[in-house]
Amino acid sequence: MIFLSERLVFPDIHNADPNGVLAVGGDLSIERLTLAYRNGIFPWYAEGEPIVWYSPDPRMVLYPDDLRVSRSMHQFINSKKHRVTFNTAFASVISNCKSIDRSKQGQSGTWITTEMQDAYIDLHKCGLAKSVEVWKDNELVGGLYGVEVGNIFCGESMFSKISNASKLAFIALVRQNKYALIDCQVYNSHLASLGAKEIERNVFVDYLPK
């Protein structure tokens, strides 16, 4: 296990263990988070634990051309009952991602700590973290957030208060035609149904800005 010091440096990602764990410690400063994402690394840990940094292999990604939208999802979109916005309510999106009940997905608690929440809000203020919001009758009912790294969007979390709201946010993100790749980090059946797949970490890293 590699422990980080105050120096702004990460070990080579090939030092990650089979679970993708690369290092422990450090901080969530804007500078360290920016360095991490530019090198294919992201933090993931629970409240009360030290910061754990990951670089999994394989990596779950979506190529925009591989996006799959089901017939029922097309009907949901065409109903025009929902409005999508970008970067208008970042703090609310991450707050909902933190507090949403995920027990139906077999998850307990949240990995979005208060420290993590504050750090990504700071990233958003710097223009690095982005959000997508889904509204119904002026109520925020779904959304997602992540970090923009060049022409890659590194997705962090999403939430839905109604069925399909997070899918709509994801589809709207992809259909911006702004990104060459959507990073989904690790396998997720929800995103796999939309066309995401696993690729080798070395292939993913080649997409990162040099």
Tens-digit pLDDT profile for residues 122-173? 999 999 999 999 999 999 999 999 999 999 999 999 999 999 999 999 999 9
Contact 133, 169 (CB under 8 A): yes
Residue 51 and residue 108 in one domain: no
141 and 183 part of one domain: yes
20 and 90 part of one domain: no
**Taking Cα atoms as reference points, which of 197, 140, 142, 195 lies closest to residue 167?**
142
Rounded to the nearest 10°, the torsion over CA 168, 170, 173, 174 is: -110
pLDDT of 47 reads 87
Are residues 169 and 199 both part of a single domain?
A: yes
pLDDT digits 0-9 by tens, 14-63: 999 999 999 999 999 999 999 999 999 999 998 889 999 999 999 999 99
> 38 with 68, same domain?
no
Tally of domains within the chain: 2
Residues 52 and 69 in one domain: no
8 Å CB contact between 139 and 130: no
The answer to whether residues 199 and 154 belong to one domain is yes
Residue 11 domain boundaries: 3-57
Are 42 and 83 contained in the same domain?
Answer: no
Distance CA 93, CA 80 (A): 21
Inside any domain, residue 25: yes
Q: What is the CATH number of the domain that holds 93?
A: 3.40.630.70
Whether residue 210 is contained in a domain is answered as no
Do 24 and 2 touch, CB atoms closer than 8 A?
yes
Tens digit of pLDDT for each residue in 71-82?
Answer: 999 999 999 999
Q: Is 180 in the same domain as 84?
A: yes
Q: pTM for this one? A: 0.94
Q: Is residue 164 part of a domain?
A: yes
Q: Are residues 18 and 84 in the same domain?
A: no
Residues 30 and 70 in one domain: no
8: domain CATH number is 3.30.70.3550
Whether residue 187 lies inside any domain: the answer is yes
Q: Is residue 33 part of a domain?
A: yes
Task: Looking at the structure, tell me whether residues 50 and 69 fall in a common domain.
Answer: no
